[in-house]
Amino acid sequence: MKTSFPKQDIKVLLLEGVSQNAVENFRRAGYSQIEFHEKSLPEAELKARIADAHLVGIRSRTHLTGEVLAQAKRLIAVGCFCIGTNQVDLEAARRLGIPVFNAPYSNTRSVAELVIAEAIMLLRGIPQKNALCHRGGWTKSAAGSFETRDKVLGIVGYGHIGTQVGVLAEGLGMRVIFHDIESKLSLGNARASAGLNDLLERADVVTLHVPETPATQMMIGASEIARMRSGAMLINASRGSVVDIDALAAALRSGHLAGAAVDVFPIEPKGNDDAFVSPLVGMDNVILTPHIGGSTLEAQDNIGIEVANKLVRYSDNGSTLSAVNFPEVSLPEHPNSRRLLHIHKNVPGMLSRINELFSAGNINIDAQFLQTDPQVGYVVIDVSTTEAQAVLLKDQLAAIPGTLRSRVLY
Ligand SMILES: NC(=O)C1=CN([C@@H]2O[C@H](COP(=O)(O)OP(=O)(O)OC[C@H]3O[C@@H](n4cnc5c(N)ncnc54)[C@H](O)[C@@H]3O)[C@@H](O)[C@H]2O)C=CC1
Ligand SMILES: O=C(O)C(=O)COP(=O)(O)O
């Protein structure tokens, strides 16, 4: 499909070492201006690089704040090559008419496998035994070592990852309980707990799989940790903001908790050359991993394809299917029509003002797709007209008060 704005002029900015599959997908789709960075960029450089980018791809480390997005004058869409979208100011993006996409499933199995491996390791006391062996020590003892069979695994956040952890844990013979703010179908023999406190009081191992939201910030603080069973273990592969890390360190030091596995931190290094600092450093009974829950080659390769495809589809066709902050429109192609996009504030009378333009110009609408959310309306209009007339219509559409964006797609 030949787009009205030439694809070779569309600048794609990819950060944080997203999979080369993404680069290849963009190239295959005809995009040639691809700027690739292995790391996230310091804020000043990010603002400079994003200023003329049309599509940007990030992972969990790059913060697209309202201030950064305000610099991105040409940005048409954001791709989060991960699950979490808390690093993007989704409201600011929506107000600017910028849809944000992510990969909601591709790395979930990788996280679930890591969590199960960690549960086994923690229950056996392997982190401290391993550390001691490396220092020339030897603790051949069964004290503090347990099988997973019959132990209670408490899952906080029973979504895509939490449910998979539950299924794998039941395969090992664990008893699974979960807590979620939504009512959820139990898989296998898993049972909903009577609330977070009930789960904390009953579980031998607690694992966190909630997104970062205002409600989950510091969800596990000193008083929640105090409720956990003496000798219990905590696994956090969700977000660093969910756990009060100082309270966790104190509980591990005092021996109230026997161990922990932590993959995500309140402050994480920008890239592999930067130092990692945490109150948990140096504790033998803690497994520390550098936010690699979703970092397997399988997951990253699939995410590269999935998110690049979503960005290409929006850029080529206007489809916003599975956008996380935007009305979702999935569109068939009408190659013999011209396609116009109009993104606007969702205020009364907008559609009639749009349609007046077409009837005034005596232009037949071949197809029209509209979706709204409380803030934004997104309408796609396919019309039989010349390119020059489509450009004129785009300018007229842009002049309607409340317009956020208007484009001729092809
Ligand atoms: N360590 C890593 O590399 C990775 C970390 N993650 C993190 O894991 C999180 C979870 O991922 P998914 O399971 O795919 O998300 P999901 O959206 O499928 O599941 C999250 C669940 O948490 C529940 N929830 C939300 N707020 C809650 C609250 N206040 N209390 C209790 N439950 C609550 C939701 O209802 C939902 O069922 C992501 O948001 C991301 O932050 C995801 C992938 C990789
Ligand atoms: O998918 C997520 O939400 C993750 O936390 C993984 O983030 P990453 O792509 O490894 O920076």
ipTM of this predicted structure: 0.99
The amino acid sitting at 189 is N
pLDDT tens, residue by residue, 265-319: 999 998 888 999 999 999 999 999 999 999 999 999 999 999 999 999 999 999 9
Ligand 1 atom with the smallest distance to the CA of 161 is 13
4 pLDDT higher than 80: no
Cα separation, 165 vs 359, in Å, equals 56
- Return residue ranges of the chain for CATH 3.30.70.260: 327-409
Question: How far apart are alpha carbons 261 and 290 in whole angstroms?
Answer: 11
pLDDT at 1 over 60: no
Catalytic residue list:
239, 268, 291
Q: How confident is the model at residue 331 (pLDDT cuts 50, 70, 90)?
A: confident
Ligand 2: residues with CB < 6 A are 59-61, 82-84, 107, 291, 294-295
**Position 225 confidence tier, pLDDT thresholds 50, 70, 90:** very high
pLDDT of residue 161: 98
Using alpha carbons, list the distances in angstroms from residue 150 to 171, 172, 176, 304, 398. Answer: 11, 9, 9, 39, 63
User: What mean pLDDT value characterizes the chain?
Assistant: 96
Give distance in angstroms: CA of 336 to centre of ligand 1. Answer: 43
Q: What is the pLDDT of residue 295?
A: 97
- Residue ID of nearest Cα to ligand 1 atom 17: 159
CATH superfamily, domain 1-102+297-324, is NAD(P)-binding Rossmann-like Domain (3.40.50.720)
CATH of domain 107-288: 3.40.50.720
The verdict on pTM exceeding 0.90 is: yes
Pocket of ligand 1 (CB under 6 A): 83-84, 107-108, 111, 156-162, 179-182, 209-213, 215-216, 237-239, 263-264, 291, 293-294
pLDDT grade, residue 224 (50/70/90)?
A: very high
Q: What residue ranges of the chain are covered by domains with CATH 3.40.50.720?
A: 1-102+297-324, 107-288
Q: Let me know if 284 is exposed, middle or buried by CB neighbors in 10 A (0-12, 13-18, 19+).
A: middle
By mean pLDDT, which of 3-7, 177-181, 368-372, 380-384 is the weakest?
A: 3-7
Q: How are the residues of the chain apportioned to helix, strand and coil, as percentages rounded to the nearest 5? A: 35, 20, 45
The whole-number average pLDDT for the span 17-24 is 97
Torsion of CA 227, 279, 252, 133, to 10 degrees: 150
Expressed in angstroms and rounded, the spacing between residue 156 Cα and the centre of ligand 1 is 9
In the predicted model, what is the mean pLDDT of residues 106-128?
Answer: 98
* Pairing status of strand 175-179 against strand 152-156: parallel
Span 327-409 CATH architecture: 2-Layer Sandwich (3.30)
Rounded distance from Cα 362 to ligand 2 centre (Å): 50
Say whether pLDDT at 2 is over 70. Answer: no
Q: What is the pLDDT of residue 48?
A: 97
Question: Which of 60, 236, 300 to mutate to test ligand 2, by most ligand atoms within 8 A of the CB atom?
Answer: 60
pLDDT band, very low/low/confident/very high, at 89 (cuts 50, 70, 90): very high
Q: Compute the distance from residue 157 Cα to the ligand 1 centre, in Å.
A: 6
The best mutation among 16, 107, 164, 241 to test binding of ligand 2, ranked by most ligand atoms within 8 Å of the C-beta, falls on 107
Centroid of ligand 1 to alpha carbon of 208 (angstroms): 8
Kindly report, residue by residue over 25-37, the tens digit of the pLDDT: 999 999 999 999 9
Q: Average of pLDDT values for 196-219?
A: 98
